[in-house]
């Protein structure tokens, strides 16, 4: 005999299971046993669903689970993604050859980009032309697409239909970061150097002039001997963070997006003096505004604010950095994209906030969302459903409470009760049955057996019923759903009864319509009865030719004929 005492719980050595007097504790124990091997210790872990981006509707759904990295770019109608096998695929609109397939033909099915397969892409950015610049794990740089302003860095203004390596002045340099503005590009190296090229009408490549830069050139000026650790580009401006936390800005400044306290353009990097004494770790740029994240989890914003994208509670532009507060939360990530006026941030507790232009609306203060990732903000609320970074998709192996319970159904390793139906066992947990079903709660109260034989219903029916208690759903053929409907009626499970009726409706046909009608009448399912009757009337000729119609109960047949007559089924 197992040990039986009145306490919060006990452990049985014979079975290796835990038995709790408190049903709630028992359920938690079931879940704990399932999840204990899956514990994570990172509070900032983010699970990303690439399916939120509309472009992935074109991708075969079974392929989505193999995606390791992805970037939806330009207007949101183009995507490059990388699989777990390091194969690169592209899909969508192919304006200016931005897909790199060798032509400008748009494609609605994924096409492999052989020239990049196996390159291990670690960074990707894009412009509005669009042009694409990527960085590999080896520190190599490749570019393709629009090139009217030399933004590809190959020395010409001809668009490139396939990825080509950018080597001028980058030979023997290990590039680690890339950022693109509207028509200019910028990379930083492992040793902290910064190179820029492309459109330069406002000084955004930092060369000191406004002449376009056709090849990568090292950005010096105030950055000479500085170690650059982070870079970002707005439409026509550039930002760099150095290893001591200082922020440098240059390029177009008509909206104060450089944070220098003025609106004049800046042709070379200039330190943002207003951030003196503040150590910045990350900086991101929107279309014409900038966000900065400090080492203490603080957030600053400056630049254009016509949609409230600074999060200051108004729509006034700011030429100096202004601190943005988010419910006294410590911020761990900020997000913006040079194609949009939208801002987003994630707190240490995992809360995601958004503000600025969100689906055409102006949100002037950080708004708490239901998202778990800043990326979701841009997928669902940005004017262009494009990504603000190359997205790494982590496998979502976390199980919710509902998923954990579903996994434990018919599991002999954790079950403490089994039903014997048609000489087959179904393994369940007493505590869950007591919580979920009043009828079974009474049954278990009267019995302490570990095995209960069930002869009243067939195995498929009773298995479907028990599975419903774990999942809230049923998966059963329409014919077996009749038996489940009987069980639901007997056990007074009204929601299960509704699900059975839905299943029967979805599976009705001329061959089984009369059988289903008979079941609906028998179990007093009036809505289902009316549905089956209408189906029979609408398919009268074929229904009356079935064996089921010939064998119909006499009283039911009379009622059916009378009702069909009143409905006009026999009018010439």
Instruction: Tell whether 345 and 411 lie within a shared domain.
Output: no
- Whether the Cβ atoms of residue 312 and residue 362 lie closer than 8 Å to each other: no
**Domain presence at residue 156:** yes
Determine if residue 410 is left, alpha or beta; phi over 0 gives left, psi from -120 to 50 gives alpha, anything else beta. left
Per-residue pLDDT at 43: 31
Res. 286: pLDDT tops 50: yes
Alpha carbon distance 433, 19 (integer Å)? 15
pLDDT value of position 47: 45
Residue 28 counted as domain residue? no
318-324 β-sheet, strand order: 280-285, 289-294, 299-303, 318-324
On whether residue 405 sits in a domain, the answer given is: yes
Would the pLDDT of 510 be above 60? yes
Percent of the chain with pLDDT over 90: 67
| Number of domains within the chain | 2
Same domain? For 175 and 306 the reply is yes
**507 band by pLDDT with thresholds 50, 70 and 90:** confident
In the three-class reduction of DSSP (H, G, I as helix; E, B as strand; rest coil), residue 236 is classed as coil
Please indicate, yes or no, whether residues 141 and 179 belong to a single structural domain of this protein: yes
428 and 383, same domain (yes or no): no
H or E stretch at 466:
helix 459-471
Nearest CA to 69 out of 153, 137, 139 is that of: 137
In a domain, 2, yes or no: no
Do 336 and 478 lie in a common domain? Answer: no
Burial-class residue 42 by CB neighbours within 10 Å (0-12, 13-18, 19+).
exposed
Mean pLDDT confidence for 459-485: 90
457 and 556 together in one domain: yes
Asked if pLDDT for residue 261 goes beyond 60, the answer is yes
**pLDDT tens across 325-351, in order?**
988 889 999 999 999 999 999 999 899
| Per-residue pLDDT reduced to its tens digit, 400-415 | 788 888 889 999 999 9
Helices 494-506 and 478-491, interaxial angle, to 10°?
Answer: 160
- Can you give the pLDDT at residue 234? 97
User: Is residue 237 domain-shared with residue 366, that is, in the same domain?
Assistant: yes
Please say whether the beta carbons of 182 and 130 come within 8 A: no
Q: Give the residue, 293 or 30, on which the prediction is more confident.
A: 293
Average pLDDT over residues 384-391: 91
Given 344, 367, 392, which residue is the final one in a domain?
A: 392
Confidence of residue 264 (pLDDT cuts 50, 70, 90): very high
Within-domain flag for 343: yes
* Domain harbouring 317, CATH code: 2.130.10.30
Q: What's the mean per-residue pLDDT of the chain?
A: 88
Over residues 480-484, the mean pLDDT reads 87
| Dist. CA 124–CA 391, nearest whole Å | 9
Q: Average pLDDT, stretch 265-292? A: 97
Q: 362 and 326 share a domain?
A: yes
Report the candidate in 179, 123, 120 with the shortest Cα–Cα distance to residue 151.
179
* Site of tokens 């970061």: 177
What are the pLDDT digits (tens) for 365-374?
999 999 989 9
Backbone phi, then psi, for 562, in 5-degree steps?
-60, -45
Residue 10 resides in a domain? no
Q: Given a cut of 70, is residue 134 above it in pLDDT?
A: yes
C-alpha to C-alpha distance for 165 and 154, rounded to whole angstroms: 8
Q: What pLDDT is stored for residue 24 in this prediction?
A: 47
Sequence-ordered alpha helix ranges (H) in 250-348: none
List pLDDT tens digits, range 34-51. Answer: 443 333 333 333 445 788
pLDDT at 208 over 70: yes
Q: In which domain, by residue range, is 276 found?
A: 50-392
Is residue 45 a part of any domain in this protein?
Answer: no
DSSP H or E run through 487: helix 478-491
Q: Is the pLDDT at 135 greater than 80, yes or no?
A: yes
Q: Note the pLDDT of residue 2.
A: 28
Residues 353 and 451 grouped into a single domain: no
271: pLDDT strictly greater than 80: yes
Nearest 5°: the CA angle 553, 555, 561 is: 95
What's the CA gap between 111 and 80, in Å, rounded?
10
* 49-72 residues labelled b (16+ CB within 10 A) or e (exposed): ebebbebbeebeeeeeeebbbbbb
Q: Is the dihedral of CA 555, 560, 565, 571 positive or negative?
A: negative
Check which CATH number belongs to the domain holding 432 and give it: 3.30.710.10
500 and 475 share one domain? yes
> What's phi and psi for 434, nearest 5 deg?
-65, -40
Q: Comparing C-alpha atoms, which of 185, 67, 82 is closest to residue 126?
A: 185
Q: What is the pLDDT of residue 567?
A: 80
Residue 303 domain-assigned (yes or no): yes
pTM reported for the whole predicted model: 0.65
d(CA 459, CA 465): 10
Residue 80 sits in the same domain as residue 216:
yes
User: Is residue 9 very low, low, confident or very high in pLDDT (cuts 50, 70, 90)?
Assistant: very low
* Rounded Cα distance, 124 and 163, in Å: 13
Of residues 118, 108, 113, 102, the one with CA closest to residue 78 = 108
Residue where one domain finishes, among candidates 338, 373, 392: 392
Tens digit of each residue's pLDDT (9 = 90 or more) over 169-190: 999 999 999 999 999 999 999 9
- DSSP secondary structure letter of residue 367: E
**For residue 18, is pLDDT > 50?**
no
Q: Do 406 and 386 fall into the same domain?
A: no
CA dist., res. 469 & res. 472, Å (int): 6
**563 or 310, higher pLDDT:** 310
Percent of residues, the chain, with pLDDT higher than 70: 91
pLDDT value for 7: 30
Among 349, 369, 392, where does a domain finish?
A: 392
Q: Tens digits of per-residue pLDDT, 142-168?
A: 999 999 999 999 999 999 999 999 999
Instruction: Considering only residues 197 and 44, tell me which one the structure prediction assigns the higher pLDDT.
Output: 197
Cα gap 104→96, rounded to integer Å: 6
Mean local confidence (pLDDT), 433-445: 90
């Amino acid at each position: 005999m197992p040990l039986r005492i009145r306490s919060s719980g006990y452990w049985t050595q014979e079975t290796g299971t835990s038995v709790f007097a408190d049903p709630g504790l028992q359920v938690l124990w079931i879940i704990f046993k399932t999840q204990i091997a899956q514990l994570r210790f990172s509070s900032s872990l983010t699970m990303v669903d690439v399916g939120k981006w509309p472009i992935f509707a074109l991708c075969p759904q079974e392929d989505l689970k193999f995606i390791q990295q992805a970037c939806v770019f330009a207007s949101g109608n183009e995507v490059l993604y990388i699989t777990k096998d390091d194969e690169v695929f592209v899909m969508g609109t192919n304006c200016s050859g931005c897909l790199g397939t060798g032509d400008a033909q748009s494609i609605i099915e994924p096409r492999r980009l052989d020239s990049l397969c196996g390159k291990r892409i670690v960074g990707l950015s894009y412009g509005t032309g669009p042009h694409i610049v990527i960085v590999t794990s080896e520190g190599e740089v490749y570019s393709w697409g629009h090139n009217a302003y030399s933004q590809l860095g190959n020395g010409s203004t001809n668009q490139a239909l396939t990825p080509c390596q950018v080597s001028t002045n980058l030979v023997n340099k290990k590039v680690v970061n890339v950022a693109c503005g509207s028509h200019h590009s910028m990379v930083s190296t492992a040793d902290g150097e910064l190179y820029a090229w492309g459109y330069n009408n406002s000084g955004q490549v930092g060369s000191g002039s406004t002449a376009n830069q056709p090849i990568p050139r090292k950005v010096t000026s105030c950055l000479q001997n500085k170690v650059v650790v982070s870079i970002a580009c707005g439409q026509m401006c550039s930002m760099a963070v150095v290893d001591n936390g200082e922020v440098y800005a240059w390029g177009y400044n008509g909206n104060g997006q450089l944070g220098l306290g003025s609106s004049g353009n800046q042709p070379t990097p200039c330190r943002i003096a207003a951030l003196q004494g503040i150590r910045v770790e990350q900086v991101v740029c929107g279309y014409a505004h900038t966000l900065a994240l400090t080492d203490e989890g603080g957030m600053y914003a400056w630049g254009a604010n016509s949609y409230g994208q600074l999060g200051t509670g108004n729509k006034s532009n700011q030429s100096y950095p202004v601190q943005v507060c988010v419910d006294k939360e410590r911020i761990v990530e900020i997000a913006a994209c040079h194609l949009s006026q939208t801002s987003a941030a994630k707190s240490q507790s995992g809360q995601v906030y958004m503000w600025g232009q969100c689906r055409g609306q102006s949100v002037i203060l950080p708004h708490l969302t239901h998202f778990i990732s800043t990326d979701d903000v841009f997928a669902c609320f940005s004017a262009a459903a494009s990504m603000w970074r190359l997205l790494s998709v982590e496998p979502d192996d976390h199980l919710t409470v509902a998923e954990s319970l579903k996994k434990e159904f018919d599991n002999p390793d954790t079950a403490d009760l089994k039903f014997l139906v048609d000489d087959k066992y179904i393994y369940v947990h007493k505590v869950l049955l007591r919580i979920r079903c009043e009828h079974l709660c009474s049954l278990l109260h009267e019995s302490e057996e570990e095995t209960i034989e069930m002869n009243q219903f067939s195995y498929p029916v009773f298995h479907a019923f028990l599975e419903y208690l774990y999942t809230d759903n049923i998966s059963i053929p329409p014919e077996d759903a009749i038996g489940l409907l009987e069980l639901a009626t007997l056990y007074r499970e009204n929601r299960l009864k509704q699900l059975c009726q839905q299943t029967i409706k979805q599976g009705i046909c001329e061959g089984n319509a009369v059988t289903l009608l008979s079941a609906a009448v028998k179990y007093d399912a009036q809505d289902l009865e009316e549905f089956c009757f209408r189906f029979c009337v609408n398919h009268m000729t074929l229904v009356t030719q079935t064996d089921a119609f010939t064998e119909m109960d006499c009283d039911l047949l009379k009622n059916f004929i009378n009702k069909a007559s009143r409905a006009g089924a026999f009018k010439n």
